[in-house]
Every structure is written in C-alpha cells, then in structure tokens.
Structure 1
Amino acid sequence: MEQCDGDDRISTLPDDILVNILDRLNVREAARTSILSRRWSQLSAVLSQLTISARDFLRSKSSISDGELRRINAAVVKATKSILARRDPGGCTIRLLSTAFYLRDDVPISIGHTVGIAMATQKIENAEFTVWTVKERLYCTVDDMVNYGAQFVSFFNECLNAFAGLTRLHLENLRFAESDFVSNILGTCKQLKYLGFLNCDTESFIELQVEHAELSELSIVNCRFDKVNLKWLPRLTRTTFECWMSFEEPPLSLGHVPLLEVVSLTNVALSWHKMVNLSTLLFETSVRDLRLGFKCEKIWVQPECLTRRLASVFHRLRVVNLVNIPEGYDLTWTMFILEAAPSLEEFYMTVIDHPCEMQMDMEKRRARLYSERKGVEWVSPASNFKHHCLTKLIIFCFESKAYMVSHVRHVKKAAVNLKDVYLYNRLACRNCVRMRRIKPTRFPQSEKQRCSTKKLMTQGIEPLARIHFLNPVEMSADHNVRIL
C-alpha cells in the first residue's frame, strides 16, 4: 500500500466509509481485518451487515465429510455468538443479520437462541435463516426428508422468539408430519418478507393455504402440494412456483394479491397433464414481469384467442421470458402473448434441449407418459395486428433454422416500433458437455452467413430493426439475469 504520513490510505478514510466497505464482506473476511490494528478491531463491532454462512468456512468444494460438517457448523455458532456479544446493545442498528447453516445436531438451536437474545436486546431490521440439509435434494430419500422435517420442528419449537422476528426464511428437503405445520410457520413468523420452500411437503397430500400480512416474496420449488392457494397476501409482489404435482386447472390459485407484479412458473408437463389458461390463472392480477419455464418438454400453456378477460390480465405486462422451450417446434403460438399484451416492451425466449436435465431413455419416457410431441399449434385470428410498444426481442440459443427465422419475421412484422433483435449463440452447459450430448450449432458465425440470415428475416419488412448476432460472452447484464 502507498504510505501517507506514516499510515496507509485506506486507514485514513472516515469510519463510516470503512464500515461501508466491511459491510460488503462476509463475516469471516470482515473479522480478519480486526488483526490490522485497534481501530480495525473496533470497526468490526459496529458493522450493519452481518452475513454468517457455513459455506464460507469450507476448506474445499469437495464433498463434505461428517467431521468437516461438524467443524463448519460449530464455526457458525462461534462466529454468531462472538460477533453479537461484542456489540453494544444500545449502539448501531443491525440492518441485516443473516445466518446460513446445516440442520445437524443442536447447532440450529444454539444459533436460534443466540439470534433470539440479540433480537430482544438490539435493534435488528432484517433477520434471515437459511437452513440446509446434509444431503442435497437429488440424494434425499423419503426417510431423509421425514428425519429432517422432525429435526426442523424441534428447532422451530425451541426457538419461537427467533422465528417470530425473522424477515427471511429458506427451507429445503423437509417433510412435515403435521399437515398444518406450514400454517404454523406463517402464523409464528409474522415479520416474514420472504419465504422459500425447496423440495418440501407434508405427509398428507394437502392444498396449501397461504395467508400473511407482510410477505412480499414467496418461492415454492419442487414441492408436493395438491394445490397452492395464495389466499390473502396484501403485500406480495413476487412469486415463484416451480414443478407442481397436480394438474388441476389452475394448479395455483391467486386470491387477494393486489401488488403482485413478478410471476415465475415452471413445470415438466407430461402427456396427460392439462394445459393451463393464463387468463384464468392470472385473473384479477396486474402482472408486469412473467417468466414461463418448460424444462425442454411439452408446452403446458394453452394459447388463447384475445378476449376481454385475457386483455385484462395482460394489460400491464412489460416483460415476458419464455425459458427452455423444446427445440424444433413452431414458435408461432407465442404470438398470442404479444397480441394480448399491448404494453409489452421486452420479449425473451430460450429455445434449447438440455439432455442433462431430460429423461433420454425412450422406454422410461413411454412408461412415465412423457409427450412425444411437445409443441402446440395456434392460428392467429388477427393476422394483420400491429404492436406499438415492443422494442426488444431477445432469443437465446438461436439457430438459422426455418422455424426460428420465420418467428423473428412474424415478430418484426407485427412490432412496428421494434428497435433491436438480439440473437445469441447456444448457451454453454457443463453437464451436457460432460455427458457428450452437445449437438452442433447452426448459429450463423461468418459474416456471409449473418448477412444471408438477416436478409431472410427482413426482406419486405419495414422499418428495419437492428439485428445483433452475439456469443454468450458478449451478453449484457440485463440479458444475463434473464437466463439465471
């Protein structure tokens, strides 16, 4: 470091700037600065952002042994107790206290008691628990989930004070013996703003009723509930609903959700599953950002002709993102969204098959009733309609095949104010590469190929939108966030 009057330049900065810098580090990294000087050691006791994660204490990214798991969980307990003990109860407000740990032994209860005491003695604006299980989702048996569920219930019952003050809670791989336990969580955690379930369920196949006064974001992924009813969530703005088990119409019921703006729906549809009418599913909402995922399998959305009901659902829609559309099928059906959403500004599409995620064995596909035909047909009743707000069309994994080129022409012809068309080459997938399942791409690489493809897309269509052929490494941040 450069020296300035015998001191380094960083140490000459005001305390509030140094604290702001330390707040951007995890607790383990921030704690290491305390050895620099007495001043730095004092700063670590006034941080406003405290993020303590078991994974920050991992020695390597390899599989975690039992001994390693005990060590890192113990490190989380020690760090949590040490950091909170050094703080002045009447001092600076803790803007965020986030702890992430594994559901193992008595460690969660120790953390829960420590956080509960801190909530009672200090000013904490936001408190978060992220609870991981020893086994990851793909390796969890039903017995594992039952065992993890029982452990979490014990943790929950022992630490009600801590849960009562939480603003964010993420749970995974839990099966609850009591069918109403999710309701118990919602009833106790009255301050929750975010609630996430990954691979969770109850022993009885139930309809999940969700009511909460403060919840603004809800994520339900790979959970086996008969149906999810978002009955009363006056502050809900975002929801993710992925891989539902039942195919009633609709599988998700939206009640009082007046602020809901961002919706993400993803599923693997089998041949017997019913199509979902978005006009029914999203009725009486004001969604602005809609993400629909298809897991490279059958299209489960029912294309609809424009009706007053559909128009009322899509009237505020600004962004649509269609993810993992199966390859090789006509894309004209997506135009029904464009016709129904006059305010749509950005339209994203990813057209790709992921062998690493798909069932590739044909006998198993037939036995489990996967669809042989994944596409869907739709004939527009308004072939000459014009869209005036769409300015960006973004297609990931573009190939110069007839059905893709034709679709770009359809959109360009309808969207009279379209400014930019971004066409990206195939996205890299490490798992597919590892399986040696990568197909050769037909993305136009040479200047000659690009000129030829552009000519096919634009011939006879005015005005001309700018067409960008890009590789994923050139992807902008706003596009990148749409494929995560």
Structure 2
Amino acid sequence: MTAATMSSHPQQLEDEDRLSTLTDDILLSILGRVGLRIAARTCVLSTRWRHLPWLLPEVNIDVKDFLCVPHTEPIEAKEMEELAMVSLTKATRSFLADQQRECTISSLHLKLYLTNTVLCEIGPLVGDAIDSGLLKDLDLTILDETDPLDRSDEDMLQRAQEIDNFFRASPSVLHCLTKLSLQNAGFNNLDMHHVLFDCCKQLKHLSLCYCDTGTYSVFKIDAADSKLCVLDIDMCRFERIELVCLPKLEKFICITWMASQHVPVTFGFVPSLGELELSCGASYYRRPFKLSELLHGTTSIHTLTLHFQGENLWLQPEMEELRTAFNKLKKLSVCGIFVEFDILWMTAFLVAAPSIEKLHIRVWNHACDVGEFRGDFFRDRRTPQWEMRFDGSENRLLKELEIGGFRALEQQFTFIRSILERSPNLQKIILLGDDQCDECDALDASLHPSKFPEKDEEEMVAERIRDGIFSPEIIFDEDWSLSI
C-alpha cells in the first residue's frame, strides 16, 4: 500500500462513518429519490445499509433504468425492451417476494413496456403483492416508444387488447390503481369506460396519449362514484369529450383535439374542477368556438391555461359571456401567441375576469416553423380582430404580470402599459427570453436573432414601461425553460 493510499484511507472510513450515522428515515429519503436498481445496489455497501431497500414505503421501478445501451433501430429497440423487461422482472420478483421486507409498500410507481414478460409474470407478481396486503397504491405507466404515426389502426387495436388481457389476468391491479398512463391504444372493440371507471375504483389520475375508441368517436364519462382528480387527454382522436359526471375532478388537460363542428369538450357535473388547460394549433379544419360555450357548466375554475401553439386563435371574440365562467379565475396563462400578433386583445380577458391575480403570457417566436420551414397544415397567421368595449373597470387584484418571449417591440410596450393603466396594484413584471427549442437552435443563428434586451439596455426598457407614471418591480431573465 502506498503512502498516498494509506493517508487517504482513514478519510474514506471517516466519510463512510458519517453516512452510516444518519438515521434510517434520512437514508430512506435519499434512497426514495433513486430507482429500484440503484437502491438495491446500496445493500452491498455495508451491513448498515443492507436492510434499507426493503423498508422503502414508496418504490420507483422504471424499465428505462434497466436499458443497457441507447437504441435507434426498431429491431434493436424491440430486443432491448425485451431484455430490459427480463431484468426488471427479476428485480421486481426479488423485491416483492423477498422475506426481508418488514413493512408494506404505500405506493409503487411502475413504468414498463408491454411485452410477453409483463403479461405472464409482472402482472401476477404485482397482483399477489396486492392480495397479500403488501402493496397499497399502484401508479402504472405502460410505455410505448413507437411513433404514433407509425402505428396502424390494427396495431392500436392489438395494443388495447394486450392491455385488456394484462388487466384480466391480474384483476387486483385494477382495484389498486391510483394513477394510470396509456399510449397508442385503440379501444374500439372494448368497453374502455367500464375498465377505467367501473373497475378502477381508486383511480385518481388518468393520462391517455394517442388513445381512442375509434376515429371521430365521442368519449362520454359518467362516473358518479369515481375518485378521479386529474384527467390528461393528449392527442387522442375523439371528436368530443363529454364529462357528464366526475364529482372529484380537479384538473383537466386537453391537448390537440380533432376537427369538429362542436366544442372539443362539454362539462356536466364537475363541481370540483378548478384547473383547466387547453392546448391546440388552429389547422385548416378547426373552427373557432366560444370559450363561454365550452366552460358552460363549470363553476369553480381558478386556473386557466390556453395554448395556441403559435397558430391562429381557435377562440371567437367575446367578453360579456365570459364574466360568469371567469368569476373565480385567479391565474390566467395564455401561451403560444405568435410573436407578430398585436396582443392588446388580451385585455378583453382582464375585463371579463376582474378577480385575476396572476397573468402569464408566452409569446411564440420559433424560426423552425416560419417561411420555408413551415408546413401546409395551418392557415396563414392573422392578428386577432376583437371588438373590445371597455367600461373603465379596473383589475385591483392583479399583482403579477409575466411575459415569456419578450421583445422590445412597440406592441408589447403598448400592451404592458395598458395593463398598468387598469391594474393599480400590479407590483411585479417578469420579462423572460424565448423558450428553448432544439429545432430552432439547429438553424443558423442569423435566422432567429434574439431581441431580448441586453444588460445595458434593461434600465432603458424598464423606463419605457414605467413611462414616468408607474412604479412596478421589473425583472429580466433571458434563460428559462417552457414549463407548459
């Protein structure tokens, strides 16, 4: 042993002893932030750690932690998924069946691929853990790396059948599910409502991505006894979603709906609904609708997000009709507004919702969908033309205005000053740069130069906003990431 090694060895032991002196609850908190694969490896560090993985009250098992190497080719991807699922199954079997476990698992977060291994082994393993009282709540995500455009209708039908077979083989799984995420499944020949709402009595969070009951179908949810709190519908081919009865629903997200003569969603009895997010680009085939018509039946919306994805608005101009739907609105986020649009029309929302406390705006400035890079699916962009009849009312509760994609353009200065004029208690204005976009970054920088104020320009911009009259705090932040 060299002198350097001898001198460093006591320090290593001291560091290990410091870690070992931590209490079980602190060490479990650390292990709870990693996946099962890493947590299980810690048991070989020392006798102090050996029992800890089997004490975790909340466990994360993610098949991606078991993937050996990155894969790009479809055939290789399929093989890697199978191998990863074999490894995941061995780890899960050891973890759930091991006699060392001394306490129940309050929540299991399980992400997996739908392979034969899942159908034959994972389902029964989880089902036995539920039946024995070892597992209380299950958060299940069935992954699919296939591009939805590469899946035929027959593929989606087959995938839905495999999901149904999985649940039929392990009925206890349905009874224990609190969160479920599905992708690329067509339930045309199956009763999806029965599975999701009659069988999943404990389900609180449901995410469906590229799922449907047939193209241009109506998905009607009438579940008076459901505990569902969050419903996330992403790019599903429903002509319309009818939420007839979901008494516990608190948050609803709807992204990219089909072209239809009707509003994409209708609400019946949803007394707890407080958060609503609607995101879609207006294609040639989508007709604008009145937001008040869509919100009819809601009584408690406090947080509303509208995302137009840089395209024309899919909303018809209105003000008076929105007052009833907006009477409890506290936070409004309007995203994906094309950078060349005059955004003064936004004040119509403030007139309709005098109770707003936070207004967040995201301007869309992407070189990757302008000019030659733009597809033919969308109409030419046109500035919204809304007739606005202001009655002189003020927004005395508005305290924060945030603008993402800010540029020193006169139309944005005009908008901000108009907000200041009718919001005497506005205390903070946050100006953010453009959101990050890999496709834009891949283009020549000269195609999309940033016009966010430089450091030495910030005070000048702030003075233009204040105009010698107003005095809000103004914060500049060029580096940020889009979270909506």
Shared fold, TM over 0.5: yes
| Matching residue of 2:179 | 168
Out of 81, 93, 111, the residue aligned to residue 93 of structure 2 is: 81
Q: C-alpha separation between the residues in 2 aligned to 1:172 and 1:355? A: 30
2:239 aligned partner: 226
Counterpart in the other structure of 1:295: 309
Counterpart pick for 1:28 among 17, 31, 37: 37
CA contact (8 A) 1:338 1:387 kept: yes
Aligned counterpart for 1:424 among listed residues 432, 440, 463: 432
Instruction: Please give the TM-score of this superposition, normalised by the length of structure 1.
Output: 0.90
CA 1:169–1:360: 2 relative to 1, 3 Å: farther
Matches within 5 A, 1:377-416: 377-382=385-390, 384-416=392-424
Instruction: Answer yes or no: is the 8 Å Cα contact 1:128–1:167 preserved in 2.
Output: yes
Structure 1 letter corresponding to 2:115: R
The answer to whether residue 353 in structure 2 is matched with residue 338 in structure 1 is no
Unaligned stretches of 5+ residues in structure 1: none
Cα distance change on mapping 1:333 and 1:183 into 2, 3 Å: farther
SS state at 1:379 partner? coil
Which amino acid letter does the alignment assign opposite residue 330 of structure 1?
D
Measured after TM superposition, the shift of residue 271 of structure 1 is: 4.0
Conservation of the 8 A alpha-carbon contact between 2:303 and 2:332: yes
Offset at residue 154 of structure 1 (A)? 2.1
From 438, 445, 448, give the equivalent of 1:439: 448
Deviation at 1:109, TM superposition (A): 4.1
Among candidates 444, 457, 465, match of residue 457 of structure 1 = 465
Q: For residues 110 and 182 of structure 1, do their structure 2 counterparts lie closer, same or farther at Cα, with a shift above 3 Å needed?
A: farther
> Cα–Cα, structure 1 residues 345 and 153, in superposed 2: closer, same or farther, change >3 Å?
same
* Structure-1 residue corresponding to 2:5: none
1:427 aligned partner, one-letter code: D
Cα separation, partners in 2 of 1:255 and 1:441, compared to 1, 3 Å: same
Residues 157/6 of structure 1: CA separation in 2 closer, same or farther (3 Å cut):
closer
Q: Does 1:120 align with 2:131?
A: yes
Secondary structure at the counterpart of residue 191 of structure 1: coil
C-alpha contact 1:183 1:210 (8 A) present in aligned 2: no
- Indicate the larger mover: 190-199 or 283-292: 283-292
Query: How far has the Cα of 1:272 moved from its partner?
Result: 4.6
Mapped contact 2:326–2:352 kept (Cα < 8 A): yes
What CA RMSD, in Å, does the superposition of the two structures yield over aligned residues? Answer: 2.5
SS in 1 for 2:277: strand
Unpaired runs of 5+ residues, structure 2, are 1-9
Change (3 A) 1:328 1:204: closer
Does residue 276 of structure 2 align to residue 263 of structure 1?
yes
- Determine the C-alpha separation between the residues in 1 that align with 2:436 and 2:66: 30
What amino acid is the match of 1:205? Y
Residue of structure 2 equivalent to 1:348 = 360
Q: Distance in 2 between matches of 1:440 and 1:7?
A: 51
On the 8 A contact 2:452/2:478 being kept in 1, the answer is no
Cα deviation code 1:296-315 (max 9, x no counterpart): 111112231234xx222112
Which secondary structure does the structure 1 equivalent of 2:164 belong to? Answer: helix
Match of 1:16 in 2: 25
- Cα separation, 1, equivalents of 2:372 and 2:285: 19
Provide the residue aligned with 2:118 in structure 1. 107
Q: CA separation of 1:192/1:357 partners in 2, compared to 1, >3 Å: closer, same or farther?
A: farther
Counterpart position of 1:146: 157
Give the match for residue 372 of structure 1: 380
Normalised by the length of structure 2, the TM-score is 0.90
Indicate how the Cα distance of structure 1 residues 196 and 5 shifts in structure 2: closer, same or farther if over 3 A, else same. Answer: closer
Counterpart amino acid of residue 298 in structure 1: N
Would you say the 8 A contact 2:295–2:325 is kept in 1?
A: yes
Structure 2 CA distance for partners of 1:163 and 1:359, relative to 1, 3 Å: farther
CA distance 1:108–1:187, change in 2 (3 Å): same
Equivalences, count: 468
Which aligned pairs between 1:175-324 and structure 2 lie closer than 5 A?
175-178=186-189, 180-203=191-214, 205-212=216-223, 213-283=226-296, 284-307=298-321, 310-324=322-336
CA deviation profile, 1:5-63 (whole Å, cap 9, x unmatched): 99612212232332232222211111011112234221211211111011111233443
* CA-to-aligned-CA distance 1:427-454 (integer Å, 9 cap, x gap): 221122224475112222142x334433
Check the 8 A contact 2:405/2:435 in 1, yes or no: yes
Deviations 1:381-407 (A, max 9, x none): 116331101111111111111211211
**One-letter amino acid of the counterpart of residue 206, structure 1:** S
Residues of 2 paired with 1:221 and 1:375: CA distance? 27
Contact 1:193 1:215 (C-alpha < 8 Å) held by counterparts: yes
Query: Cα gap change, 1:446/1:135 in structure 2, threshold over 3 Å: closer, same or farther?
Result: same
Contact in 2 for aligned 1:420/1:466 (Cα 8 Å): yes
Aligned residues of 1:296 and 1:358 also touching (Cα < 8 A): no
Deviation for aligned residue 1:234: 1.0
Q: CA deviation at 1:3?
A: 7.2
Cα separation, partners in 2 of 1:84 and 1:179, compared to 1, 3 Å = closer
The question of whether the paired residues in 2 share the 8 Å contact of 1:74 and 1:107 is answered with no
- Indicate conservation of the 8 Å contact 1:321/1:348, yes or no: yes
